[in-house]
A and B are shown apart, each in its own frame.
Chain A
Amino acid sequence: KNQVEQSPQSLIILEGKNCTLQCNYTVSPFSNLRWYKQDTGRGPVSLTIMTFSENTKSNGRYTATLDADTKQSSLHITASQLSDSASYICVVSYTAKAGTALIFGKGTTLSVSS
């Protein structure tokens, strides 16, 4: 069964600290993996998208890694800021008969405090 599991469910860190969010998936055949940031009450916004051949991709203070062998991805946030407080959602896509299908994780809620 195609699934995406994210951990931890929630996380509280102090401003300026680093953190790493995890995403494990059992989606096949894998097409790509995306990380989204969703501020409270807003729609998700894409941070990174990684295909099978990419191991690392950065977007400012956000760095995503992908290990296609172990089917794991991580999102590392460096020098966290209060504005990083949000839900981070891992989305894995695969090619189905009807086209591209997406499996969403339930997200990790990050709270950055001062």
Chain B
Amino acid sequence: SQTIHQWPATLVQPVGSPLSLECTVEGTSNPNLYWYRQAAGRGLQLLFYSVGIGQISSEVPQNLSASRPQDRQFILSSKKLLLSDSGFYLCAWMEARASGANVLTFGAGSRLTVL
């Protein structure tokens, strides 16, 4: 069965410090991978998605970047965090097949607080 792991679960970082959130998927190959951010009281905002190794699409301009060094690994990074980067970050994956019933499966989330 497929599983998705995301870490760290909670992170408190000072403004200007770097960030690295990691996500790995097991039990599948060549998945589509996604990073979402969920601000308090707001819906999920798609930040990045990837359809393959080294292929990253950015949905919104921001202080963050993403990388996919391996097929089932997706990393969210920042060189210098801003206060506005605080939020709940979710990694997700979906099978890369053209089907109307693909399910987006989420990780447990990472709570980032920038002070």
Interface residues of A (CB under 8 A from B): 31-32, 34, 36, 41-46, 49, 51-52, 89, 91, 93, 98-100, 102, 104-107
Contacts and interface: CB of A to CB of B under 8 A. Distances in A.
Majority SS at the chain A contact face? strand
Interface residues of B, number: 25
Contact of A99 (B32, B90, B103): B32
B49 to A, nearest CB: 9
Contact of A34 (B6, B51, B104, B109): B104
A42 B6 CA distance: 11
B100 A32 contact: yes
19 contacts: A31-B100, A34-B103, A41-B88, A42-B108, A43-B92, A43-B106, A43-B108, A44-B106, A46-B103, A46-B105, A51-B100, A89-B43, A98-B57, A99-B51, A99-B98, A100-B98, A104-B43, A105-B43, A107-B43
B44 A89 contact: yes
A106 B109 contact: no
Contacts, number: 53
A97 to B, nearest CB: 12
Interface string B94-112: 1010101111111111010
Contact of A102 (B6, B88, B100, B104): B104
Contacts of A107: 43
